[in-house]
Chain A
Amino acid sequence: MKCAARLRRSTALIAPRTRGFTLIEVTLATALLGVVGAGIVTFLGAFATGASARTRVSDPALEATLALRRLDAIAPDLRTVLAADKTSAVLWLNDRVPSRTVHLSELGCLRVDLERGELVLETIDESALASDRSLETEFEAGDDFLAAMESARTAGVLRTRVLAEGLESMRFSAAATRSAVVLEVGAAGATSGVVLSPAKPEEPLR
């Protein structure tokens, strides 16, 4: 009995003197809790953003390939790139006016919209051509195709379709090894380039 009483007494004496966490331990624990908290917040943020964050394609090579695939679906008979600068490339989409020469209705313009992060394809609106047949123009080899598309844009006769979106950077440049135009696409911190060239390059006879 005496022993037990002594033990309780000694315990009672010791209890108030129990050592707490050291400053380092508390600091470390707080930091780790901060990391965990930040992770939870990020998780919640990601879920709040929704499915789009989880279905995002972050590989610029894939983005560029998909853009070209969409272009191929719209213009399966793509002939060649007629002119290009850093932000746009004028394409000869097909020879729908059978002549082996370039007509306005056969042009398309790949254009970079950096504000929206989109790559768009502009083509001449069919209804505009049908309502005013004088719009149709035949081009010569030395004509300024970029200026022609710009004036068509100003006249409001272009139809726009988005080929790629969510891109951080895009630009057109000349390929080093051959006469082709390269589309360089940047996304998620990486950059990739694809050559804008049809399977069988064809140039207009005029």
Chain B
Amino acid sequence: MIPIVPAIHRARAKRRGVAVLLALVAVSVATLLGLSLASSRDASVATSSNLSKVATVRAAAASGLDLANSILAKEDALAALDGAELFTKVLINGASVRAEVRDLETNRPATVESAAIEVIVYADADGVAQVARAVGRMPATDAPLRADLDCSEFALLGTGSISVLDDAHVGVWSASPLAVLGEPVRYGLASGSSSGLTVGHNASVHGCVAVRQGAFTQGSEEFEQSLADKLCPIPAPIHVPGAPIPLTSETTVAQPSLMLDGLVSHNASSSGDARVPARGSLTLRGTVTLDVGGNFFVERGARMFVEGAAVLVVRGNAVVDAGTVEVAPLGSLTIVAQGDLTLGTSFVGGARTNPSEVRDATGAASYDGGAARVMIYAGAESRVLVADGTVIKGQIYAPDARIDVESRSAIYGRILGKQVVLHEGVGLFYDPTLDARRGWSNRASGIWTETGVVQEAVRAITTLDDAALLDFAVKSGVEPDPPSIAEAAVVLVNESFTAQDFDERADDRASDRVRAQRKLLKSRLMQRVEALKRFHEQAVLTPIEGSGAGLTSQGFEWSREGDD
């Protein structure tokens, strides 16, 4: 008999070993596959995908900027805005694109009054979003109709001489909303000459251009060349009108002297001195004119707070000694000093929002409304001394006076004087919002005729008072930009004006013959305006820096899910 069972057993025994091996091989293969999967499981594919998406959306955002630039070149583009929205849900390369236009100064939706704008373009596709930003000045197409006569486009302008000593600094106020435009800061002599202009070897004037008499630059290449040469060519000597000298008010009864403390909300006048006593606190509310026949003192530790539009006329000397003069967000202050003006260890400017900022002379001070709300005029016999760490956020206009800024003081704004000396270690930080591009450096402004010659009426202005500006408006058909935002900045006899529309007032006061003449002048100016509009429409997408045309990109940023 054949032994069947042992044969079967032997066969099973052989197969059992093979099964184990097969199982082990299978496990090994699975392990190797798992390992290879684990080793290749990095973020490369996901990152590549993200990069691709981001690149697509970024390109759409960049195209959105071009589209916005093109739309903004059209007439009345800002008037047609829906809030801040320029366009929405425009499909570009599969991405949904939306654009907003905001006023660079206020961060509110841009209006026809906006001088500089920020365009923000949002592009969105496949859950990836990109934001592109660009800033630029709106083309000043109304420039031929307007003229900025107070030379506020210059950070430092001298009618006689300028000395910027070693370690003094002239530059842009970085906190100004228009500082991002990266425009050069202008300084020099009104004559356009280099003699009389002294800049110390170790003085810091980086990013500044000096005024020189020469033809305006044509196009971006010439502009860049003059920038590299650090020059600002202007074809003719700059005419600087004198500071206004208000007449004495006849309606206000003059007191022998004034002690100013507490709240003052009406006009006041004194034949003698006026003072804000030591550690006193004066608040000026509403439209107030203080006419001081003698000297004016803000004594040690005193605080003067301006809530409305205040004009302070000082017939004698004015001294602010370790005092504070602050202007509320909606207020303005105009100081007309006919004698000497001395400020020591003091602060004059917008009310400080940063409680830790006392007198920051480093250039990093908060903007707090900028330099436009404080205007200081000084007369022919004056000497202005800013010393001992004083900080002024405002403008000093003293074309016939000597101005000294010394001992670690700083001016945030601009200075115009006959002899200006910036001593060692002081700073002048220009606020670009003062430059409305309607002045001497813009060939299209109302200062220049179509042939590039200075209007005769411009040189006829003797002082920056209301009467002279109104006379200019009548003769030229051009509306002068008021030198101060104060409602009653310039006092004409007993009259002060709340409306600053010189054009309307000029028409009201003019005779029929003059009105007809103005109409003719206006029609010629409008032809220039139309030509300027056509130029800007043609020049769209080809920004010319310094010309006010075109936008400067500020780069891109992620908004969500775009992070790679």
Interface residues of A (CB under 8 A from B): 7, 10-11, 14, 18-19, 21-22, 25, 28-29, 32-33, 35-36, 39-40, 42-43, 46, 54-59, 62, 65-66, 69, 72-73, 76-77, 95-101, 103, 130-131, 133-134, 136, 138, 204-206
Residues of B within 8 A of A33 (CB): 24
29 pairs from A and B in contact (CB 8 Å cutoff): A18-B13, A25-B21, A29-B21, A32-B21, A32-B24, A32-B25, A32-B28, A33-B24, A39-B35, A43-B35, A43-B38, A46-B38, A54-B42, A56-B42, A57-B43, A69-B564, A72-B555, A76-B554, A98-B182, A98-B207, A98-B227, A99-B206, A99-B207, A99-B230, A130-B364, A131-B362, A133-B204, A136-B204, A206-B228
A44 to B51, CA, bound (A): 32
Q: When the two chains form their complex, are residues B207 and A97 in contact, meaning their CB atoms are under 8 A apart? A: yes
Contact of B31 among A7, A39, A77, A138 (CB under 8 A): A39
Residues of A within 8 A of B169 (CB): 133
A204 to B225, CA, bound (A): 10
Residues of A within 8 A of B499 (CB): none
Closest to A136 in B: B206
Known contacts A19-B13, A29-B21, A39-B35: A58-B555 contact under CB 8 Å:
no
Within B507-555, the residues touching A (CB, 8 Å) are: 545, 553-555
Closest to B172 in A: A98
Closest 5 CB pairs of A and B: A76-B555, A39-B31, A205-B228, A97-B207, A32-B24
Residues of A within 8 A of B41 (CB): 54
Q: When the two chains form their complex, are residues A36 and B24 in contact, meaning their CB atoms are under 8 A apart? A: yes
A57 to B557, CA, bound (A): 22
Q: When the two chains form their complex, are residues A130 and B363 in contact, meaning their CB atoms are under 8 A apart? A: yes
Q: When the two chains form their complex, are residues B228 and A99 in contact, meaning their CB atoms are under 8 A apart? A: yes
Residues of A within 8 A of B553 (CB): 76-77
Residues of A within 8 A of B207 (CB): 97-99
Residues of B within 8 A of A103 (CB): 206
**Interface flag for B251 (CB, 8 Å):** no
Known contacts A35-B28, A43-B34, A65-B51: A73-B167 contact under CB 8 Å:
no
Q: When the two chains form their complex, are residues A56 and B43 in contact, meaning their CB atoms are under 8 A apart? A: yes
**Interface flag for B2 (CB, 8 Å):** no
**Interface flag for B82 (CB, 8 Å):** no
**Interface flag for B17 (CB, 8 Å):** yes
Of B3-11, B279-287, B290-298, B446-454, the one with at least 4 CB within 8 A of chain A:
B3-11
A62 to B292, CA, bound (A): 73
Residues of B within 8 A of A36 (CB): 24, 27-28, 31
A97 to B172, CA, bound (A): 10
**Interface flag for B183 (CB, 8 Å):** yes
A46 to B39, CA, bound (A): 9
**Interface flag for B218 (CB, 8 Å):** no
Q: When the two chains form their complex, are residues A99 and B184 in contact, meaning their CB atoms are under 8 A apart? A: yes
Residues of A within 8 A of B10 (CB): 19
**Interface flag for B194 (CB, 8 Å):** no
Q: When the two chains form their complex, are residues B43 and A55 in contact, meaning their CB atoms are under 8 A apart? A: yes
A104 to B450, CA, bound (A): 42
Q: When the two chains form their complex, are residues B42 and A55 in contact, meaning their CB atoms are under 8 A apart? A: yes
Closest to A65 in B: B51
Q: When the two chains form their complex, are residues B182 and A58 in contact, meaning their CB atoms are under 8 A apart? A: no
Within B148-207, the residues touching A (CB, 8 Å) are: 167, 169, 182-184, 202, 204, 206-207
A136 to B21, CA, bound (A): 76
Q: When the two chains form their complex, are residues B184 and A21 in contact, meaning their CB atoms are under 8 A apart? A: no
Known contacts A134-B167, A206-B228: A35-B206 contact under CB 8 Å:
no
Q: Taking A10-B5, A14-B6, A130-B364 as given, write out 16 further A-B residue pairs in contact, using a Cβ cutoff of 8 Å, ordered by the A residue number.
A: A7-B5, A22-B17, A29-B21, A35-B32, A39-B35, A57-B42, A59-B47, A62-B47, A69-B51, A72-B556, A76-B553, A77-B553, A98-B207, A100-B224, A133-B204, A204-B228
**Interface flag for B44 (CB, 8 Å):** yes
Residues of B within 8 A of A40 (CB): 31
Q: When the two chains form their complex, are residues A59 and B44 in contact, meaning their CB atoms are under 8 A apart? A: yes
A66 to B167, CA, bound (A): 42
A14 to B6, CA, bound (A): 7
Closest to A95 in B: B182
A99 to B35, CA, bound (A): 58
Closest to A101 in B: B228
Known contacts A29-B24, A97-B206: A77-B555 contact under CB 8 Å:
yes
Residues of B within 8 A of A29 (CB): 20-21, 24
A25 to B14, CA, bound (A): 11
**Interface flag for B48 (CB, 8 Å):** yes
Known contacts A28-B21, A205-B224: A62-B48 contact under CB 8 Å:
yes
Residues of A within 8 A of B5 (CB): 7, 10-11
A72 to B555, CA, bound (A): 8
Q: Mark B24-62, 1 if CB is under 8 A from A, else 0.
A: 110110011011001001111001100100000000000
